[in-house]
Amino acid sequence: MDKFTTLNGVAAPLPMINIDTDKIIPAVYLKTIQRKGLKKGLFYELGHKPDGSENPDFVLNQPAYSQSTILVTGDNFGCGSSREHAPWALLDFGIRCIIAPNFADIFFNNCFKNGMLPIKLPQEVVDQLMEDAKKGANAKLSIDLEAQTITRPDGGVVHFDVDPFRKHCLLNGLDEIGLTMQKGAEISSFEDKNRLSQPWLWS
């Protein structure tokens, strides 16, 4: 998993509430367990017209936001089913941080497990960052996970909370497998002793 330390990038404004995981990526794209290539299904319904052509009005289709790494959005983001393809699709596009007043619990947890930083902030603060995002590619946000700050284009600083354990994992690029492998020496020692004491388990 890639480390998350600092992020300086364009923030895309998506002022909608209750965006569920089916809207993030439709079920038709869940046939694969590959994490690459899923950006083609990201926000498909919002990003395309009924005839399948690209919707130029959708924010991520606009040139100013085509390289966005941050998404500022509304309350209850990621509700609906628990599909992990939702954070995978966002990551495949390049989104590493999502800022919202609140998130659905499973989606929130899946973000951390995949190296993304979901930030919860009061609605009035999200509204301010949304206005920053609407200014386009010249108004970037800077996120410092160690300091737990967001620096706005005008230099103003917003502080955010994050669970210390999840912060540690993001800063060090540790998913659940990575955390387990940190105990590699202890695991090997146990296995060596177990082979001697209970060899029939290893035959």
* pLDDT tens track for 47-71: 999 998 999 999 999 999 999 999 9
Q: What percent of the chain clears pLDDT 70, i.e. is strictly above it? A: 92
Instruction: Write the pLDDT tens digit of every residue in 107-122.
Output: 999 999 999 999 999 9
Q: Please check the confidence at residue 7 and state whether its pLDDT lies above 70.
A: yes
| Torsion sign over Cα 194, 197, 198, 202 | positive
Contact yes or no for 89/25 (Cβ under 8 A): yes
CB 48 within 8 Å of CB 75: no
pLDDT greater at residue 64 or residue 186: 64
How confident is the model over 80-90, as pLDDT tens digits? Answer: 988 899 999 99
CATH number for the segment(s) 6-172: 3.20.19.10
Domain ranges of the chain: 6-172, 177-203
Residue type, 28: V
Q: How many CA atoms lie within 13 A of 116 on its CB side?
A: 26
